[in-house]
């Protein structure tokens, strides 16, 4: 399965194209590598990749290419973590990929979200799937308005098939 064009368009609008490396925590452009160094549409720059991006601008064509490469492992992650993923409606698959893209593959695979999608009666610390989904609202231990909004948009996509940015 592949994320739909509506899903990728929404994810790209949420990640927002940035042509120069920046710190994902502060949004400030950076001249030296930090954990959370990011460029393009949410591409996390590893320390070993830093020399490839340091001090240069990336264009939209390159950002789109990197985004497509970055997205594929998350599509496979969702397909691997969700039983019968091929039977998911497009909006549900898209929302799950968008969540995984943000919380990481390991976070997604071990999440209560994945457990509850696979088995709505799974025992978790959450009352239901929506509560488990919305719990991914923190960065560095603090509730972040942007993550609350993002989770709301993802949940709206998952539950109602509505693809809207907040």
- Tell me, yes or no, whether 27 lies in a domain: yes
Average pLDDT estimate for 78-83: 97
- Residue 87's pLDDT band, with cuts at 50, 70 and 90, is very high
- Tell me, yes or no, whether 28 lies in a domain: yes
pLDDT tens-digit readout, 105-147: 999 999 999 999 999 999 999 999 999 999 999 988 999 999 9
- Tell me, yes or no, whether 67 lies in a domain: yes
Total domains in the chain come to: 1
End-to-end CA distance of the chain: 26
For residue 73, the enclosing domain spans: 5-160
Cβ contact 147:137 at 8 Å: yes
- Tell me, yes or no, whether 166 lies in a domain: no
Grouping H, G, I as helix, E, B as strand and the rest as coil, residue 106 is helix
CATH number for the domain that contains residue 147 = 1.10.530.40
Predicted structure pTM score: 0.94
Average confidence score pLDDT of the chain: 96
Q: Kind of pairing, strands 18-23 and 37-40?
A: antiparallel
Size of the chain in residues: 166
- Tell me, yes or no, whether 165 lies in a domain: no
- Tell me, yes or no, whether 30 lies in a domain: yes
- Tell me, yes or no, whether 11 lies in a domain: yes
């Amino acid at each position: 399965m592949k994320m739909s064009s509506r899903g990728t368009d929404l994810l790209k609008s949420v990640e927002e194209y940035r042509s120069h490396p920046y710190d994902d925590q502060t949004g400030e452009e950076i001249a030296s590598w930090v954990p959370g160094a990011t460029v393009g549409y949410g591409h996390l720059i590893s320390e070993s990749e830093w020399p490839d991006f340091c001090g240069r601008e990336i264009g939209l064509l390159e950002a789109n290419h990197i985004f497509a490469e970055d997205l594929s492992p998350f599509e496979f992650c969702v397909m691997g973590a969700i039983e019968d993923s091929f039977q998911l409606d497009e909006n549900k698959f898209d929302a799950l990929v968008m969540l995984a893209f943000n919380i990481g593959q390991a976070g997604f695979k071990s999440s209560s979200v994945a457990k509850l999608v696979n088995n709505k009666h799974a025992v978790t610390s959450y009352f239901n799937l929506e509560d488990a989904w919305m719990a991914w609202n923190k960065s560095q231990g603090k509730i972040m308005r942007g993550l609350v909004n993002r989770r709301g948009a993802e949940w709206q996509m998952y539950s109602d098939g509505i693809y809207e940015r907040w």
